[in-house]
Amino acid sequence: MHANATALIEMDWDAFDPARIKAVRHQLADHPLLQPDQLVALGKRFQGTSHLFTFNNNAGADANFDDVARLYPNRRSVTDTLQGINEAKAWMLLRHVQADATYQKLIDLALDPIKPRIEKHDPGMYYRAGWIFVASPHTVTPFHIDRNHGILLQIHGTKKVYVWDAEDAEVCSELARDCFHSRHELDEVKWREEFRERAHVFEVGPGQGVYMPITSPHMVETGDDPSITISLTYSTNATRRNAMEHVLHDLLRRKGIKPPTVGKHPLLDRLSYASASAMIAMHGVGSRPPACPSLARRTAYAVAD
């Protein structure tokens, strides 16, 4: 652990609110493990596993996020994908890099020093994970939401990051969040072009990034150069509680009951949390498709699904 090490991620900690989107700065852009040669080596170690996706991307913001990887895998080697990244509309996604001992240390190096700052407002950090995206110029990560807090850190090239407030029900409904937390479905998370004007927009280059609270909708466009980005994600007591409440609300909806908005009725939220916790403890998080494994297991690092 690196609790006393220099913080490589900086933000205005006095103004930090775990529920608010925030710009960050970082000193990881020159880290050797985030340079192309080491990413090729990691990609080779991950080849043939669920940790590595390489795919072509002609998708726009309105594409279904899950479909992009499923429908356009290019099945090329890591080396070929990276060599062609300048010309091809290609992506390489290294998922759950914490499964590799070297990269797990990198995640700790980045998160350990800021953990006390985060936990002052948002205690119980667990389920750490790292995701590395290598993408061609002018590619789009379609509009979607994620199950945990995330810190996007730009390493190489530029990106335009559009993020919307997590509670913006115009952009992403309560129903969409319920379905997503309970069944990991993004079908109700639907892009509309007019959303752009109400987004927080960050143009990030190396050394810059964005903190995104759980289920803040986002969409990302790469600039004129190939892009390397690492996203660090984690759960906390509050994200766990929020996700559990959404899981229970999804079940209520399926029984024909319209639940209230999560966060608006503290007593109901506590009852939902208690019910969902008991259910998940008894039955697990469901089989197909599952709620986030972080709800069943409070492990230090995320478990690859």
Residues that bind Fe ion (CB under 5 A): 146
In this complex, which beta carbon is closest to Fe ion, that of residue 146 or of residue 221?
146
In this complex, which beta carbon is closest to Fe ion, that of residue 146 or of residue 269?
146
CB of residue 264 vs Fe ion: minimum separation in angstroms? 26
In this complex, which beta carbon is closest to Fe ion, that of residue 108 or of residue 146?
146
Helix pair 237-254, 174-183: axis angle to 10 deg: 100
**Torsion angle of alpha carbons 250, 252, 256, 261, nearest 10°?**
-70
CB of residue 71 vs Fe ion: minimum separation in angstroms? 18
CB of residue 19 vs Fe ion: minimum separation in angstroms? 17
From the centroid of its chain, how far is CA 37? 24
For residue 293 the two structure tokens come to: 């494994």
The DSSP 8-state label assigned to residue 181 in this structure reads H
For residue 162 the two structure tokens come to: 């559009």
In this complex, which beta carbon is closest to Fe ion, that of residue 40 or of residue 176?
176
In this complex, which beta carbon is closest to Fe ion, that of residue 72 or of residue 162?
162
- Helix (H) / strand (E) containing 12: none
Of 284, 232, 242, whose CA–CA distance to 34 is shortest?
232
CB of residue 145 vs Fe ion: minimum separation in angstroms? 7
Closest residue to Fe ion using C-beta atoms? 146
Round to whole Å and give the CA distance between 275 and 199: 35
In this complex, which beta carbon is closest to Fe ion, that of residue 196 or of residue 264?
196
CB of residue 54 vs Fe ion: minimum separation in angstroms? 18
3-state helix vs strand vs coil in the chain, percent to 5 = 35, 25, 40
Round to whole Å and give the CA distance between 287 and 3: 37
CB of residue 227 vs Fe ion: minimum separation in angstroms? 14
Round to whole Å and give the CA distance between 41 and 196: 37
